[in-house]
């Protein structure tokens, strides 16, 4: 009879020991149990309805999922001031520092060297180190799709494009958009005006008004700035709008068509989780259509069904790898073949050497 009682007792003891071991193991591996401090350095505002807000909204979702305490710093200039801000946030306990502007690159690198135990992420940069990664998305793929929408929508064949600087990132977007336009409307032109500023409202408004003054046949307008002034002015003129960074259809219900947009939580969540798991690797990330980082805002009811069908078809080709935007033959604005038939542009050239425009781009200057 004693054996009858001893065996259940042993079984119970084993079960209890197992549960205790499980709980200890769970406690030791629960890497999000305690809050981690993260600093986000921004060149703009968290309420700009554009680049800055796209990072803010993405990080808020990541913070909720990973139990992060995020310290946002807005409108940080690309100078030594940014280093002082980062140093202060690290002193306040930040274990991860994120800078969301290309122009902050040199300053992020300087601070990263001084703090090897802190992990750094630099948006739209290219260099990396043991404790710093750079990241961006193949938003040019979504630019191409939005160009198809613009090309199908225009009646005049003249599409306006208000852009910040003639750097590879911006030129890549202009060219991708134009290739989308030309796919459906071979005779159309994309007319570009530079603002020389990412987010200064006055400069962006001035460039938009100058573009319209020189080319009042434009009936669709898109942009690569963080300011909403180009869309606001174009909306007041009754032009069709293709946005950027965020889906702002509710702001411009009468004229908004779509926008290439960012879903940064799909980058921040897995990569910050890797930091918490101590699996961080410094490298450059360039996420494509299948990553969820880049997307196209839902096409509004101003867009024709046949346009929607074509966009969906082209998107599937990009996602399954049977097509990408810069597949030859591609001709530049001087008539020279830049990419031969059967060839494609390398990532290195797209990232570093885009200093030319495809056929159909017109630069509007004084």
Judge whether 36-137+264-291 and 139-259+297-363 match in fold: yes
Token pair for 22: 């499980």
Comparing CA positions, the residue from 102, 100, 271 lying closest to residue 170 is 102
Residue owning tokens 């591609």? 330
**H/E stretch holding 203:** helix 201-214
Comparing CA positions, the residue from 262, 355, 234, 212 lying closest to residue 61 is 262
Ordered by start, the domain boundaries in the chain are 36-137+264-291, 139-259+297-363
Q: In a structure prediction context, what are the per-residue pLDDT tens digits for the chain, which is 366 residues long?
A: 333 433 444 444 444 445 444 443 343 458 899 999 999 999 999 999 999 999 999 999 999 999 999 999 999 999 999 999 999 999 999 999 999 999 999 999 999 999 999 999 999 998 999 999 999 999 999 999 999 999 999 999 999 999 999 999 999 999 999 999 999 999 999 999 999 999 999 999 999 999 999 999 999 999 999 999 999 999 999 999 999 999 999 999 999 999 999 999 999 999 999 999 999 999 999 999 999 999 999 999 999 999 999 999 999 999 999 999 999 999 999 999 999 999 999 999 999 999 999 999 999 987
pLDDT recorded at residue 29: 53
What CATH number was assigned to the domain covering residues 36-137+264-291? 3.40.50.2300
> Is the entire prediction scored with pTM above 0.75?
yes
Provide the 3-class DSSP secondary structure of residue 218: coil
The pairing of strands 260-262 and 294-296 is: antiparallel
Give the span between the Cα atoms of 245 and 165, in whole angstroms: 16
Q: Does domain 139-259+297-363 have CATH number 3.40.50.2300?
A: yes
As a dihedral over the C-alpha atoms of residue 315, residue 194, residue 233, residue 255, rounded to 10 degrees, the angle is: -10
Give the span between the Cα atoms of 207 and 231, in whole angstroms: 12
Residue owning tokens 């007041």? 236
**H/E stretch holding 351:** helix 347-352
CA 135 to chain centre: 9
Provide the 3-class DSSP secondary structure of residue 72: strand
pLDDT recorded at residue 30: 83
Q: What is the DSSP letter of 65?
A: H
Comparing CA positions, the residue from 150, 205, 211, 154 lying closest to residue 181 is 150
CB 189 within 8 Å of CB 151? no
Q: What is the DSSP letter of 299?
A: P
């Amino acid at each position: 009879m004693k054996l009858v009682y001893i065996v259940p007792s042993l079984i119970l003891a084993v079960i209890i020991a197992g549960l205790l071991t499980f709980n200890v193991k769970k406690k030791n591996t629960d890497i999000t149990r305690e809050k981690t401090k993260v600093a986000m350095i921004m060149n703009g505002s968290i309420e700009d309805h554009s680049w800055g807000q796209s990072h803010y909204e993405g990080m808020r979702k990541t913070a909720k999922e990973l139990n992060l305490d995020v310290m946002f710093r807005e409108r940080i200039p690309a100078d030594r001031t940014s280093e002082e801000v980062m140093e202060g946030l690290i002193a306040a306990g930040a274990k991860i520092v994120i800078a969301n502007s290309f122009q902050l690159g040199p300053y992020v690198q300087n601070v990263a060297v001084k703090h090897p135990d802190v992990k750094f992420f630099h948006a739209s940069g290219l260099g990396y180190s043991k404790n710093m990664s750079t990241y961006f998305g193949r938003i040019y793929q979504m630019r191409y799709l939005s160009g198809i929408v613009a090309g199908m929508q225009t009646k005049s064949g003249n599409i306006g494009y208000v852009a910040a600087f003639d750097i590879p990132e911006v030129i890549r977007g202009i060219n991708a958009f134009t290739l989308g336009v030309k796919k459906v409307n071979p005779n159309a032109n994309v007319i570009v005006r530079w603002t020389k500023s990412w987010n200064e409202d006055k400069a962006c408004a001035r460039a938009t008004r100058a573009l319209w003054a020189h080319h009042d046949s434009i009936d669709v307008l898109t942009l690569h700035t963080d300011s909403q002034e180009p869309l606001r002015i174009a909306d007041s003129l009754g032009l069709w709008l293709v946005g950027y960074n965020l889906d702002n259809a509710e702001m411009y219900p009468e004229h908004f068509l779509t926008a290439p947009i960012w879903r940064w939580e799909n980058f921040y969540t897995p990569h910050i989780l890797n930091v918490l798991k101590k699996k961080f690797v410094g490298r450059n990330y360039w996420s494509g259509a299948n990553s969820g980082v880049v997307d196209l805002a839902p096409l509004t009811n101003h867009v024709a069904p046949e346009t929607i069908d074509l966009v969906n078809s082209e998107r599937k080709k990009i996602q399954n790898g049977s097509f990408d935007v810069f597949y030859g033959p591609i001709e530049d604005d001087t008539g020279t073949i830049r990419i031969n038939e059967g060839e494609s542009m390398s990532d290195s050239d797209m990232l570093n050497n885009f200093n030319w425009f495809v056929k159909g781009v017109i630069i509007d200057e004084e």
